[in-house]
Chains A and B, each alone.
Chain A
Amino acid sequence: MAGFSVLQARAARWVGLLPFLLFTGLFLILPTLYIVVGAFRTPTGGFTFENIINLNTPTIRSAYWVSLKISFMSALLGCIIGFAMAAAVTLGGVSRRVKNPLLTFSGVASNFAGVPLAFAFIATIGPAGLITMYLRTEFGINLRLYGWNLLSSTGLIITYLFFQIPLMILIITPALEGLKREWREAADILGATRLQYWRMVAFPILFPSILGTMALLFANAFGAVATAIALTGPSLNIAPILLYAQIRGDVLGSPNLGYALAFGMIVITGLANTLYIVLRLRAERWLK
């Protein structure tokens, strides 16, 4: 009898977690598993690697490749520019009064993604945008003749930077502020130059944070659908747009190939996020 009540008490502890587990199970884990399993199944239900192998067509390969390129470039540039701006306001140089407005704005801009962001860039450097028209009428410069096209991968990278840079600023500012003054002083006393301090002390400490954030930005850009569709319509062949078209109209002609395409996206964003978590844990050892 006593043993039973202990068991009962132990079970009661789990009751409070049931709604959460049930909900995330039904509307997060199960749908994802369904896609993953579907990627390894034949239409009749047997196990196969066929779908994964069939991803190797010119269209799908190029969709992944362009997606990877856009995500990588926007993450890299977002990291470099975001780091420069965050460093400028935290490590002196620029008045610290700029810092809080910059962080507030970053909070807004990192959430200003999707369809409206695309509109803002179309209105600015699209074919009839503010800058495009200004350059043409005032200086006679036709950006089109210089190969500029907003509805391209370059245009997408420049647009994505609008939420990538702020995200980098938000994540890296605490890390920069975590650089202890003592480290700097210790380096100074030992006769280190500024460059040496950065190369041998600050940068190695920050490196996991920077690389980790870059992985996060990469995943962030890779899964973005709305901005790309609003900017380029269905014309640009990148992985999320291809998957969107596949879901709406089975453009690949095989539902299971669609699952494989989605599975590939999970693998890529999953790897990027794992890298982020691992590097973040490593970064936190120093920044306490």
Chain B
Amino acid sequence: MSKVLAWTAIVLGCIYFILPMIGMAEFSLSMRRGVYSLDAYRVVLADPVFQATFGYSVVMALVTIAFGVLLVVPTAYWVQLKLPEMRPVVEFITLLPLVIPAIVIVFGYIRLYNTSSWLPLTGTVMGTNLLLMFGYTMLAMPYMYRAVDTGLRSIDVATLTEAAQSLGAGWVRIVMTIILPNVLGAVLSGAFLTFAIVIGEFTMAAILDRPAFGPYMQLLGANRAYEPAALAVIAFAITWACMGLIQMVSKLFKHKRAQS
């Protein structure tokens, strides 16, 4: 009896999840009447606006990852080593972006950093890009920090630091050549998740009026029929790839640690 119930739950659940996948795949192939074709993909991929916005979002994601790593790894390392009593506070701050909706954070940005403020970031294109990147860093912070913090807990930070210091290494050298390589698996997991979050992000980019992939998708969705489905398939493939890479990385690094 309970076996029947369990299978019913799984089968119904799977149907719910598979149907939209089939729906979007089928729709994306139906641009040409009567036969399946890759026309929608061809049209989308050839669209210069797609190339420009997708490129923009990829660059934003990479810069966000680099900035996030530079901010999170030294902070998490320092908290672990010198200020363990501050851990709950720092952890709480890193979780705040899950509490405060992104739209509220970016609302604050455009009021606080507009052209007539003390730090007129939205006055220039580069400044707005920077602001958007900071916003993305915030969105990714809860995941990045937790990944790195977990990674740091599994190594002996104090001993590694003392060993490096007694050999004459400075702080920058310790973080870059000792700590970072030791938590590389965690950093990469955080990085792939950041990539998945940033690549299709809509709200912040739209409010800051930047030519990112998310607002482009939304615009296309309002005006076209088949291309959006193709975009959805592409976006789903990217999300899937990022999650796959995270699993691969965590397996790879677990394996390595077990050997050593």
Residues of chain A touching chain B, judged by Cβ–Cβ distance below 8 Å, are 13-14, 16-17, 19-20, 23-24, 27-35, 38, 81, 84-85, 87-89, 91-94, 98, 102, 104-105, 107-109, 111-112, 114-125, 128-131, 161-162, 165, 194, 219, 222-223, 225-226, 229-230, 233, 240, 243-244, 247-248, 258, 262, 265-266, 269-270, 273
Whether A123 lies near B135 (C-beta < 8 A) is no
Secondary structure class of chain A's binding surface, majority of residues: helix
**Choice from A104, A116, A122 contacting B200 with Cβ under 8 Å:** A116
- Enumerate chain B residues within 8 angstroms of A248, measured Cβ to Cβ: 207
Within 8 Å by CB of B222, from A24, A33, A104, A233, lies A233
A-B contact list, 21 entries, CB within 8 Å: A13-B83, A16-B77, A16-B78, A17-B86, A23-B71, A27-B135, A30-B108, A35-B107, A92-B6, A93-B5, A93-B7, A104-B247, A111-B196, A122-B228, A123-B20, A165-B13, A165-B16, A219-B99, A225-B203, A243-B107, A244-B203
Contact check, A111 vs B193: say whether CB atoms are below 8 A apart.
yes
**Which of A85, A269, A273 has the largest count of B CB atoms less than 10 A from its CB?**
A85
A130 touches B214 (CB 8 A): no
Q: Is the CB of B28 within 8 A of A28?
A: no
Q: How many residues of B contact A (CB 8 A)?
A: 81
A88 near B6 (CB under 8 angstroms)? Answer: yes
| B125 contacts the other chain (CB 8 A) | no
**Interface pair A119/B104, CB less than 8 Å apart:** no
| Closest-CB distance, A68 to chain B (whole angstroms) | 14
Near A by CB (< 8 A), chain B positions 110-168 give 110-112, 131, 134-135, 137-138, 141
In the complex formed, the residue of A with least CB distance to B131 is A27
Task: Take A35-B107, A243-B103 as given contacts and tell me if A93 and B3 are in contact as well, using a CB distance cutoff of 8 Å.
Answer: yes
Output the residue of B13, B28, B229 with the most chain A CB within 10 A. B13
Choose among B104, B141, B231 the residue that contacts A266 (Cβ–Cβ < 8 A).
B104
Closest residue to A226 on the B side, CB-wise?
Answer: B202
- B183 on the A face (CB < 8 A): no
Candidates B75, B193, B232; contact of A17 at CB < 8 Å: B75
Question: Would you give the 0/1 interface string for B213-241, flagging 1 where the beta carbon is closer than 8 Å to chain A?
Answer: 01001100110010011011001100110
Q: Is the Cβ of A31 less than 8 Å from the Cβ of B105?
A: yes
Interface pair B82/A19, CB less than 8 Å apart: no
Besides A98-B10, A119-B221, A125-B23, 8 more A-B contacts (Cβ < 8 Å) are A27-B131, A27-B137, A112-B235, A115-B214, A121-B20, A123-B20, A226-B218, A266-B104
